[in-house]
A and B are shown apart, each in its own frame.
Chain A
Amino acid sequence: MRRETIYDEVYDAQENFRLLLDSMARPGKINVLPDMDILPPTGINKSSTLIALSLLNADASFISIATNNQEITTYLALNTGATVASINTADYIFLNGDQAPALIDGAKHGNLSYPEESSTLIIDVNKISISPILNAVQLILKGPGIETETVVYIDGINPHLLQAIKELNLEFPLGIDLMLTDKQNNLICIPRSNRFVYSTFN
């Protein structure tokens, strides 16, 4: 298992975070994370790894429920020092976009006094684009951070997963926040405040 040494804890973390912050503040806005020379195990996008490196440490917890979760877990724990948690307690949940929504059953979604005590999903997909992709999901995002509406296309996301999250986030301020990355290091975020609709684009 590789211990990453190239990642600069001070400057890389700051740059990655600013892109995350920008994407979270402007849902659907595509930011491109740098293509760093890191070597995560198969089954996790490089960009999802960068999110982990920039946000996680001993004070945060995570779980990977991706297909290759054992290797991913060992890798992330080694490189971030974060604690491995169960689905019910994890602050960050790493998964693949094509996975079934049942896997995130029980993920933290906060309480009314402290709604931020909730999980953030980091979802690996194949491709995120502003131009239409055949057979992909079309997302129309509306809400804080968006002037009118933003449209993005996502290849490799299970519509049932989106449906489950949408329903969960109806209970705003309770909810779950999403970060999606693709194979080309593209990133979008969808905070719980967003009221998105989705459809399959043919």
Chain B
Amino acid sequence: MVENKKYVNKYNFAFIDEATKKEIRRKLLKAVAIPGYQVPYSSPEMPISRGWGTGGLHVTLAIIGKADVFKIIDQGSDASVNACNLREFVHMMTNCKTTFDTREATLIQTRHRVTEEELNENQIYIYQVPQPEPLRGVERYENKTRQMHGEADYAKMWVSLYEQIVRHGDIMLGAGYPVKVNDRYIMAPSPIPKWDCPNINQSKALHLFGAGREKRLYAVPPYTKVEPLEFEDIKFHPEDFTTRTCFKTGYNKAYLDELYFDDGTRHFVINDSNFLDKMVNNEPIKQHSNKYLSELKNGAE
């Protein structure tokens, strides 16, 4: 930072200027009113790179207040370098309390995961979104995808899924699996694994999505229907960990990371760092419940 007098610049609370915050807030209210619809917004430059969570930061900084407790994870981890960097920035600009504890947080910003621990009514869950347009893979032009959403004309998407089934016997979409929100809009849930999609459905928390580089905001209100796309005969299914277990806890009803040790051996470990810590320390945890999880048997039990 420049420290001589002529060039000194005092930063506003939460970095962004108030006019821009108001604009983001107005757009967020519209996003909430039209679940799953992508609202364009100004998306001012932030002191972190485009594609590194600027959209998530815009949302966080536009809504955060002095009383908030902030948690941020990247790939499920509180300790990931980018999460640490953004946490430090948000703390520096707001002096808010930060935490790793999922339950204690009031605002949780994430890149590519929903926590395993269930979210509550006092929480807002904020996603960093690289590509907000779920139809981009089947239609490259923005004004056409807008039209398709407007008319709920999703034929191209369904054809593409069908073709994958014909070629590969399954829908080959992984992280960022498209979902339908409130029976209306197809939405990109950001590159969360399929494992997490059912946990947005009828969630107690408000979910906000910020795609900074693409300049779009969208939302899933609490208690809103969110359904992964599937066919009558070929159903959506989360990633399959039935034959693996977490080497630290023996648990396998959580999203697992695959690790290779120096000796070449392969291990699996619970991805959500706070969930793992709580399990290891035998702290009480209430995991999300959904129909896929309840069908699973824990291999270690």
**A26: nearest residue on chain B (CB-CB)?**
B222
How many chain B residues sit at the interface, stated as a range, is 35 or more
- Verify B37–A113 contact, CB threshold 8 A: no
The answer to whether B34 has its CB under 8 Å from any CB of chain A is yes
Other-chain contact of A10, B13, B25, B35, B220 (Cβ < 8 Å) = B13
Which residues of chain A are near B184, meaning CB under 8 Å?
Answer: 172-173
- Bitwise, B157-190 to A at CB < 8 A (1) or not (0) is 0000000000000000000000000101100000
The answer to whether A60 has its CB under 8 Å from any CB of chain B is yes
Which residues of chain A are near B88, meaning CB under 8 Å?
Answer: none
**B217: nearest residue on chain A (CB-CB)?**
A116
Complex: A17 Cα to B33 Cα, angstroms: 15
**A20: nearest residue on chain B (CB-CB)?**
B29
| Known contacts A20-B29, A21-B29, A112-B151; is-contact A11 B13 (Cβ 8 Å) | yes
| Known contacts A10-B13, A57-B22, A112-B147; is-contact A15 B65 (Cβ 8 Å) | yes
- Bitwise, A103-127 to B at CB < 8 A (1) or not (0) is 0000000011111101010000000
Main secondary structure on B side of the interface with A: mixed
Which residues of chain A are near B12, meaning CB under 8 Å?
Answer: 10
- Verify A11–B223 contact, CB threshold 8 A: no
- Verify B143–A113 contact, CB threshold 8 A: yes
Distance (whole angstroms) from the CB of B11 to the closest CB of chain A: 12
Other-chain contact of B26, A18, A26, A55, A115 (Cβ < 8 Å) = A55
- Verify A193–B223 contact, CB threshold 8 A: no
Distance (whole angstroms) from the CB of B132 to the closest CB of chain A: 14
Which residues of chain B are near A72, meaning CB under 8 Å?
Answer: none
Count, chain A residues at interface, CB 8 A: 42
**A118: nearest residue on chain B (CB-CB)?**
B30
Complex: A90 Cα to B159 Cα, angstroms: 41
Distance (whole angstroms) from the CB of B59 to the closest CB of chain A: 11
- Verify A21–B28 contact, CB threshold 8 A: yes
- Bitwise, B22-58 to A at CB < 8 A (1) or not (0) is 1101111111111101011000000000000000000
Other-chain contact of A144, B27, B28, B147, B221 (Cβ < 8 Å) = B221
- Verify B29–A193 contact, CB threshold 8 A: no
- Verify B182–A21 contact, CB threshold 8 A: no
Which residues of chain A are near B220, meaning CB under 8 Å?
Answer: 144
| Known contacts A21-B206, A113-B150; is-contact A59 B22 (Cβ 8 Å) | yes
Which residues of chain B are near A175, meaning CB under 8 Å?
Answer: 33
- Verify A11–B29 contact, CB threshold 8 A: no
**B220: nearest residue on chain A (CB-CB)?**
A144
The answer to whether B287 has its CB under 8 Å from any CB of chain A is no
The answer to whether B66 has its CB under 8 Å from any CB of chain A is yes
| Known contacts A14-B65, A18-B65, A193-B35; is-contact A55 B25 (Cβ 8 Å) | yes
- Verify A25–B32 contact, CB threshold 8 A: yes
| Known contacts A11-B13, A13-B18, A24-B33; is-contact A18 B63 (Cβ 8 Å) | yes
Other-chain contact of B33, A54, A111, A192 (Cβ < 8 Å) = A192
| Known contacts A113-B150, A120-B29; is-contact A173 B37 (Cβ 8 Å) | yes
Distance (whole angstroms) from the CB of A140 to the closest CB of chain B: 15
The answer to whether B19 has its CB under 8 Å from any CB of chain A is yes
- Verify B37–A59 contact, CB threshold 8 A: no
The answer to whether A40 has its CB under 8 Å from any CB of chain B is no
**A113: nearest residue on chain B (CB-CB)?**
B146
Which residues of chain B are near A177, meaning CB under 8 Å?
Answer: 29-30, 33
The answer to whether B99 has its CB under 8 Å from any CB of chain A is no
Q: List 5 A-B contacts (CB under 8 A).
A: A21-B25, A21-B206, A25-B219, A59-B22, A177-B29
